[in-house]
Amino acid sequence: MYPGGQNLRLLREQLGLTMRDVETASARIAQKLENDEFAIPPSRLSDIETKGVVPSIFRFYSFAAIYHQDIRELMSWYGVDVNRMPADLEYVMPPRSHISGALESLSKVNVPLRLDPAFDPRRTVNFGRMVEQWGVIPFAYLAQFASYEYTYGYIGSEDLTMYPILPPGSFVQVDESRNKVVEGHWRSEYERPIYFVETRNGHVCCWCTLTKEELILQPHPLSPVAARALRYPQEAEVIGQIVGVAIKLGEWRPVFDGAADSKAREALN
């Protein structure tokens, strides 16, 4: 049972309000809005506070107004946390494109506040291991990064392995439960699984092919990076499959030198 009723009672007492005060105030709200559902009689208030009765949506509104509290906070006391919305949007994919207002109600999310001093933006890393402290700030669109079910990777500015579909500077979401290389016939490069792999020289995002003794790290055809074959699992470990990516468009620019071949230049044209 959620402690919603106990919290409501504690909040009411902290504000110095009696049950009669709540009844009177809610009656005024009901009268103004011309809907008796907003009213909270003392008997119903007692049931809510002591017997685990869940308030209706109308009474949630009255409580929020009377107690000067964010209605989203009151709902979270009953297990309804609207800040989890981004993680739950994936359960249905409407067939038609549309403008979504689902994220507008979010109020706070967990984001990295302090990174490991060893973090080097030039190298591809397991970003989850680089975060020393998470904190709560009102930044809705990074809500998914609060999930503990995934590892998050950052593609270093010198890592062109999966360029151009995963340019350097991208953040990737890695599902560690999908750490087995899947073989198959893919209709396009976007269907083929991309894996986050840890090697002795660091991390890399790539396509993978597993042979009897080797893990072949396969780059994108337009990448200047060559394929590599490493002993598996001695020299390479598949952390998981990339299931999400955050890319900043129009900001990253490659720096060409003698090591980069003409394929990277051609990919930009």
- Look up the CATH number of the domain holding residue 16: 1.10.260.40
Average pLDDT of 235-257?
75
**212-226 pLDDT, tens per residue?**
899 999 999 999 999
Q: Note the pTM of the prediction, 2 decimals.
A: 0.52
AA identity, residue 158: E
- Per the listing, tokens 């984001």 go with 111
Q: Residue 91 has what pLDDT?
A: 76
**60-88 pLDDT, tens per residue?**
999 999 999 989 889 999 999 887 776 77
Would 195 be classed as within a structural domain? yes
Peptide bond into 193 cis (omega under 30): no
**32-66 pLDDT, tens per residue?**
999 999 999 999 999 999 999 999 999 999 999 99
Tell me the percentage of the chain whose pLDDT exceeds 70: 72
Q: Which of 86-90, 158-162, 250-254 has the lowest mean pLDDT?
A: 250-254
List Cα–Cα distances, 95 to 87, 98, 102, 103, 266, in angstroms: 19, 9, 17, 19, 35
Q: Which of 213, 179, 210 is nearest to 195 (CA)?
A: 179
Residue 21 scores a pLDDT above 70: yes
Degrees (nearest 5) of the Cα angle 39, 103, 248? 165
Pair (202, 244) in one structural domain = yes
Pair (130, 185) in one structural domain = yes
Q: Which of 25, 60, 80 is the last residue of a domain?
A: 80
Would 103 be classed as within a structural domain? no
Pair (69, 128) in one structural domain = no
- Per the listing, tokens 């995002």 go with 205
Pair (117, 236) in one structural domain = yes
Pair (189, 71) in one structural domain = no
Confidence grade of residue 251 (pLDDT, cut at 50, 70, 90):
low
More confident: 103 or 48: 48
CA distance 172 to 224: 21
Peptide bond into 167 cis (omega under 30): no
Pair (74, 194) in one structural domain = no
Backbone angle region of 70, left / alpha / beta, with phi > 0 → left and psi within -120 to 50 → alpha: beta
Pair (134, 242) in one structural domain = yes
Beta bridge partners of 172: 153, 245
Would 102 be classed as within a structural domain? no
Pair (243, 114) in one structural domain = yes
Q: Which of 80, 97, 118 is the last residue of a domain?
A: 80
Burial of 213 (0-12, 13-18, 19+ CB in 10 A): exposed
Would 87 be classed as within a structural domain? no
Tell me the percentage of the chain whose pLDDT exceeds 90: 49
Domain of 263, in residue numbers:
109-268
Q: Residue 134 has what pLDDT?
A: 57
CA distance 99 to 106: 16
Beta carbons within 10 angstroms of residue 260's beta carbon: 15
Number of compact structural domains in the chain: 2
Pair (58, 144) in one structural domain = no
Would 42 be classed as within a structural domain? yes
Pair (71, 151) in one structural domain = no
CA distance 153 to 163: 15
Tell me the CATH number at 235.
2.10.109.10
Q: Which of 33, 60, 80 is the last residue of a domain?
A: 80
Pair (126, 70) in one structural domain = no
